[in-house]
Amino acid sequence: MSEVLFEVVDGVAVVTLNRPEARNALNRAVYQGLADAWARIAGDIEIRCAVVTGAGGVFCAGLDLKAWLAKEDMNVKGTPFGPGAAVLDKPVIAAVEGYALAGGFELMSVADIVVASEKARFGLTEVKRGLVAAGGGVMIFPRHAPFRIVNEMVLTGEHMDAETLYRHGVINKITAEGGALEGALAYARTIAANGPLAVAACKRLMRESAEWPTAELFQRQQPIISPVFNSEDAREGARAFAEKRAPQWKGR
């Protein structure tokens, strides 16, 4: 049985953590499966968007502490988060049912959009085990959430509910229990219908421009947006609008 399942439907890759007996906890096999999935997503021009979720009604309970105590090597390059992470220009959507805890919460946090069940529970629980959220929970997550909400999660290690995180902008949409994946796929289908070069450029600009000096913003965006405006897809988008039809993107 594969610890990480991978399928592509209509330009959307669905990546499923598949250790339900261990609440999809992260061991080396899962890290390697995620790295392999991210490489496939990056290298396949037919894939426009990705959804990451968990099997068995749980997203991910975090690091497999039994595997860690057994000194299983977790240092896999090219995973979605942590040291040596692979950054995708293609959008990633997290579909969360059940628990997204510790490393599972950090995996969720690298997604561009998060859809969660109303019953989902979230936490950076490492301090309860004498550990640190070293996969980005104490460094990257604070860039995307209110300061005191981050402090509460990191320092107490307590769980938070979906409604609380939705109010603070950490979650985009709440669904009924069991509906998170379909909610995520709805977002993914909408994104996959857009121009892939434009989507990739927008994601890259939003990620990189946060560190640019204000006076250089428009200058620095030019090398990223010029290939988009000069692409076949840009002309196709304009033609499709004029002809009142759906565009046929080529990714060039």
Residues marked as catalytic: 106, 126
172-186 b/e (C-beta count within 10 Å ≥ 16 → b): bbbbeeebbbebbbe
Q: How far is it, in rounded angstroms, from Cα 52 to Cα 181?
A: 9
β-bridge partners, 100: 60, 122
Give the burial class of 65: count Cβ atoms within 10 A of its Cβ; 0-12 exposed, 13-18 middle, 19 or more buried.
middle
Q: How far is it, in rounded angstroms, from Cα 58 to Cα 181?
A: 12
Angle at which helices 232-243 and 196-208 cross, to 10°: 120
**Dihedral angle of Cα 22, 136, 73, 114, to the nearest 10 degrees:** 40
Contact 123, 105 (CB under 8 A): yes
Cα–Cα distances in angstroms (integers) from residue 65 to residues 120, 159, 223, in the given order: 22, 18, 45
Cα–Cα distances in angstroms (integers) from residue 66 to residues 27, 28, 236, in the given order: 9, 12, 53
